[in-house]
Amino acid sequence: MIDVQNLSKSYGPKTAVHDLSFQVKPGIVTGFLGPNGAGKSTTMRMIMGLDAPTTGSVTVNGRPLRDHPDPLHQIGALLEAKAIHPGRSAYHHLAALAATNGVPRARVHEVLDLVGLHDVARKRAGAFSLGMGQRLGIASALLGDPRTVMLDEPVNGLDPDGILWIRTLLKQLAAEGRTVFVSSHLMSEMALTAEHLVVVARGRLVADVSVDEFVESASTATVHVRSPEAGALVPMLAGPGVTITSAERGVLDVVGLEASAIGEIAFRNRIVLHELATRHASLEEAFMTLTKDLTEYTTLEAAA
């Protein structure tokens, strides 16, 4: 469990995180979503105690991380591609980490198996591909058998196989009862991986919802209508809650009325339709609308 309370972080005049509060619960994957520069990495660094909050507080499994006697067992994190000595093998890197943190040597073999690096464990890490480096970073994060796992943009730069692997691993870790918190700037990726979403933009909380709720509430349907008599149709469709736009002659995009209702109105008024199609906004579009609104709000507030 991660509990973030009224967290803010300023770097001089720049506010990277503003009064952020949310909880990350065990047993599910929670996605931490926001455009570049939204404050995700800053928040994750504060959760790890690597950066001090300007105001607010964070606990991991009930206490600030520094108050736990066994931090590596409480949380394992992959924050950015870590600099690993290129001449050192994956095995030696993990063995050194285990030795300095009181983790038994046997656990090194377990995590190497878990991330699929066992066969290349004795090779120099300098020769690793991006995907292998990411797997080694995740092995390091899992070394202490942590109750909470936190990964910052783990799929960045990975091929489809690597992405699928991370997705499956995160779900498995959550199914084991762990708290799993993973950041991304891609809504589509989070929709496939996470069950819950914490969405931030400009350092502020925009949404704290289940993926299902987000998909349902955010994806408004637009009905695309093509008719040689589109102009005559407009006043018949207009009404409270209905928005009609026209990108080209003979074409209407209608929000607020179902396709069936539009079809019936056209039929009753003997208007010919050449096309009548419902289109749902993609998740990515819904996410951009949500975060764009906040950007505008923030600008207005700053101007006031």
The nearest distance, CB 287 to ligand ATP, in angstroms, is 14
Q: Which is nearer to ligand ATP, 41 or 148 (CB)?
A: 41
Q: Which is nearer to ligand ATP, 24 or 125 (CB)?
A: 24
What strand order describes the sheet that includes 55-60? Answer: 14-24, 2-11, 55-60
**8 Å CB contact between 28 and 196:** yes
Query: What does the block give as tokens for 47?
Result: 């959760």
DSSP state of 291: H
Q: Which is nearer to ligand ATP, 72 or 153 (CB)?
A: 153
The nearest distance, CB 271 to ligand ATP, in angstroms, is 49
The nearest distance, CB 203 to ligand ATP, in angstroms, is 7
Give the x-and-dash track for 26-65 against ligand ATP (CB under 6 A). --------x-xxxxxxx-----------------------
- Angstrom distance (rounded) from CA 235 to CA 237: 6
The nearest distance, CB 134 to ligand ATP, in angstroms, is 16
Q: Which is nearer to ligand ATP, 140 or 291 (CB)?
A: 291
- Angstrom distance (rounded) from CA 239 to CA 280: 21
> Cα–Cα–Cα angle for 80, 156, 114, nearest 5°?
75
- Angstrom distance (rounded) from CA 300 to CA 27: 39
Taking CB under 6 A as the binding criterion, the range among 8-16, 62-70, 245-253, 267-275 that sits at the site for ligand ATP is 8-16
Binder among 16, 117, 143, 294 for ligand ATP (CB under 6 A): 16
**8 Å CB contact between 224 and 273:** no
Binder among 11, 113, 269, 289 for ligand ATP (CB under 6 A): 11
- Angstrom distance (rounded) from CA 187 to CA 193: 10
Q: Which is nearer to ligand ATP, 54 or 222 (CB)?
A: 54
In which residue are the tokens 């074409």 written? Answer: 251
Contacts with ligand ATP by CB under 6 A: the residue count is 12
Q: Which is nearer to ligand ATP, 119 or 296 (CB)?
A: 296
Backbone angles phi, psi at 40, to 5 degrees: -65, -50
Residues 161-200 close enough to bind ligand ATP by CB under 6 A: 185
The nearest distance, CB 78 to ligand ATP, in angstroms, is 13
Residues 246-265 close enough to bind ligand ATP by CB under 6 A: none
| Paired residues of 127 in beta bridges | none
The nearest distance, CB 106 to ligand ATP, in angstroms, is 35
Q: Which is nearer to ligand ATP, 39 or 76 (CB)?
A: 39
- Pairing mode, if any, of strands 75-78 and 148-152? parallel
In which residue are the tokens 């196989």 written? Answer: 161
What is the biggest distance separating any 2 CA atoms in the chain, rounded to whole angstroms?
Answer: 81
Binding site for ligand ATP (CB under 6 A): 11, 14, 16, 34, 36-42, 185
